[in-house]
Structure 1
Amino acid sequence: MVVNDVSAEFHEFFERHHAELARFAHLLTGEAESADDLAADALVALWQRWDRVRSADHRVAYARGVVANMARSRVRSAVRERRRIALFWAPRSDRTEGPDVAAVVDVRQALRRLPDRKRACVVLRHALDLTEKETALALGISVGTVKSQTSKGMAELERILGARAGELVGGGN
């Protein structure tokens, strides 16, 4: 395959999967404004390794894994930065030990409260309707881990959101 054919192949992959990857990034991070950038960054990373990616059995699963890893890194960086800012600006006498309880909790806030792997499993299974096998491939984990992490994640969401968590997260899946 000549370079132009390889470029065309990647371009077709990009056009076909960018929107889904951006939606996945949005659901993982809760940030609509940066989801498109995250998906584009992941696709740039894929292009840089396209010779390996194109020989993979499950290119889209590989791409989802890259998005999940990049989202995890961004969320962790943002959390660290917020903590630094809060520590720098927080008056020492106003510190409280208890957590703030929001009056209204939406699904995105509830998803952000889940650990990375549970959140990714719940989003892939219930919001994107992937099978357990497809989710396992995307995250590089076993099907059994997908099952347990999804179950535990949904239980946590039910605790946070109430009995309608499944309906709210995945439209009733």
Structure 2
Amino acid sequence: MTFGTTVSRDAVTDGEFHAFFERRHAELSRLAYLLTGEPDAADDIAADALLEVWRHWDRVSAADSPSAYARGVVANLCRNRIRKLGRERLGQRGWGTLWRDRAHSTDADVPAVVDVRSALRLVPYRRRACLVLRYAFDLSEQETARTLGISVGTVKSQTARGAAQLAELLRAQPENGGES
């Protein structure tokens, strides 16, 4: 009776979530990488976010944009990780320990991409999140605001300030030892 209904409903729910997982995992992992700059942590953050989505799947799947909810969870997990790492490393070895060794990357990055990624890590989190969601993920201002839980006006100002700061960092990079 009810047992058969529960099993059937669970199978449908499992199938819906599995399809969502397959469509969104790579995107969420890429978002985590761009927000943290840590390729090793990106898949873990995406997996943690998808676990949270699964826990609330009934509510998430009924929402207007389950993808926006999942991106928001990733953004929050990234922000928490960055804060935690900052607290752990404060006073130990300075900012240099926050950088990952690029030798671990399997990407064939051109120097310009490496420069942008390095500079992006110096942009404060909220500005970085707005830049990444707006330009790397091509989200609208409204979608970005919904993902980050902030107003559209804040998205506009943080994106503009972040773009200006990123441009300044990129202009200053060669002077700071980028090329000999």
- Normalised by the length of structure 1, the TM-score is 0.79
Question: Mind listing any 5+ residue stretches in structure 2 that lack a counterpart?
Answer: 1-7, 95-111, 173-180
Offset at residue 67 of structure 1 (A): 0.1
RMSD: 1.9
Instruction: Give the stretch that moved more between structures: 121-130 or 19-28.
Output: 121-130
Does 2:123 align with 1:114? Answer: yes
SS at match of 1:129: coil
Q: Is residue 81 from structure 1 mapped to residue 88 from structure 2 by the alignment?
A: yes
Query: Which runs of 5 or more structure 1 residues have no equivalent in the other structure?
Result: 88-103, 164-173
* Change over 3 Å in CA distance of 1:84–1:8 after alignment to 2: farther
Q: Give 2:167's aligned residue.
A: 158
Aligned residues: 147
Equivalent residue number for residue 26 of structure 1: 33
The question of 1:60 aligning with 2:72 is answered no
Q: State, as a whole percentage, how many aligned pairs show the same letter.
A: 59
Amino acid at match of 1:120: A
Cα deviation for residue 52 of structure 1 reads 1.4
Query: Residue 52 and residue 84 in structure 1: after superposition, are their counterparts in 2 closer, same or farther (change >3 A)?
Result: farther
Whole-Å separation in 2 of the counterparts to 1:130 and 1:11: 24
Q: Partner of 1:159: helix, strand, or coil? A: helix
Q: Cα gap change, 1:162/1:86 in structure 2, threshold over 3 Å: closer, same or farther?
A: closer
> What amino acid is aligned across from residue 123 of structure 1 in structure 2?
V
Does residue 130 (structure 1) correspond to residue 139 (structure 2)? The answer is yes
Cα shift at 1:84? 5.1
Q: What are the Cα deviations for residues 24-63 of structure 1, in whole angstroms up to 9, with x where unaligned?
A: 0000000111101110110001111112111111110111
| 1:59-100 per-position Cα deviation (integer Å, ceiling 9, x unaligned) | 10111000000001111111111125338xxxxxxxxxxxxx
Partners in 2 of 1:81 and 1:109 — Cα distance?
21
Moved runs in structure 1, 4+ residues, more than 6 A?
A: none
Compute the displacement of 1:106 (Å). 2.0
Aligned position for 2:156: 147
- Give, as a single letter, the amino acid of the residue that structure 2 aligns with 1:109: S
